[in-house]
Amino acid sequence: MKVVCVGGGTGLSNLLRGLKKEVGNRIKELSAIVTVADSGGSTGRLRKAYHIPAPGDIRNCLVALSETEEVLQKLFQYRFKGGELDGHSFGNLFLVALT
């Protein structure tokens, strides 16, 4: 069975986190279509500055789907303190660089 999840916010990443346990068993392929309407915090600032889709929910879904979730979560959810990067998560900056 192939599964596609559509949504955003914390609900989608939590759903993906649960479903990924069935990949290779009942689920052959797991995909997500992530809505990107967030306008707050780091993701909102980056969206306005670089005219890109908001990266925050995509970042959370990538973490949720990763095989080494704990490691990727520590890396992607890391928030800078102070200076020009204050409040930005590494994951958001990484996605901006990829964009």
Band (pLDDT 50/70/90 cuts) for residue 86 is very high
Band (pLDDT 50/70/90 cuts) for residue 59 is very high
| pLDDT tens digits for range 11-46 | 999 999 999 999 999 999 999 999 987 777 888 889
pLDDT score for 27: 97
Q: What CA–CA distance (Å, rounded) separates 28 from 46? A: 35
* pTM for this entry: 0.86
Sorted by sequence, the CB contacts under 8 Å of residue 67 that are 6+ apart come out as: none
What residue has token string 């479903």?
19
State the DSSP H helix or E strand holding residue 5, giving kind and residue range, or none if neither. Answer: strand 2-7
Q: What CA–CA distance (Å, rounded) separates 13 from 17? A: 6
Q: Is 54 left (phi over 0), alpha (psi -120 to 50) or beta?
A: beta
Q: What CA–CA distance (Å, rounded) separates 41 from 22? A: 33
State the DSSP H helix or E strand holding residue 30, giving kind and residue range, or none if neither. Answer: strand 29-34
